[in-house]
Structure 1
Amino acid sequence: MAEWLAKPKATKEDLTPYFRNLKTLADTLVEDRLPRIILTLNQELSQKFFQAVKKRYGNITSSNVEKAAMEAIKKWTESI
């Protein structure tokens, strides 16, 4: 386990069989290592974003906000 903690891009395959068999724990151990982005939006931009989320997905939920943000990031990075 100590060796796994030093890996910057750890996957489930890097876990020992014991932890790999504990699916929820394995998912948590891998997902906790993923990068996070925290943004502070001004009122105007946040209103536009939430309106776009509602228009695209029908309602504003945390999963829809995450989908929209991921879609925007993918589109932007592919256009560069």
Structure 2
Amino acid sequence: MTTSAPETVLGLISELLVERFDIPSDEVRADAPMRDLLADSLLVVEMAITVHEALGVKVEEDELRGGTLAEFAASVDARRAAR
């Protein structure tokens, strides 16, 4: 990640999607369904690993397939805060 990385979990996850997974930035919106952003099962697995490495939160594949980007980020953020 760049040194100017956003500080919010939504911003960090958005940046991961763009920089590491080559998702076009215009598609990475808070209301975008995660299943559309990570259309292939390999991407889902890679994203789960990346989120764990970058944010220290384990996520299940089902979480990455359901809901929107904002909902996923809120879930990850809540678990980070609970640690």
Q: Which has the higher contact order (CA 8 A, sep 6+)?
A: 2
Q: TM-score, normalised by structure 1?
A: 0.30
User: Which structure carries more helix by proportion?
Assistant: 1
Q: For the pair shown, which has the larger CA radius of gyration, 1 or 2?
A: 1
Q: TM-score, normalised by structure 2?
A: 0.29
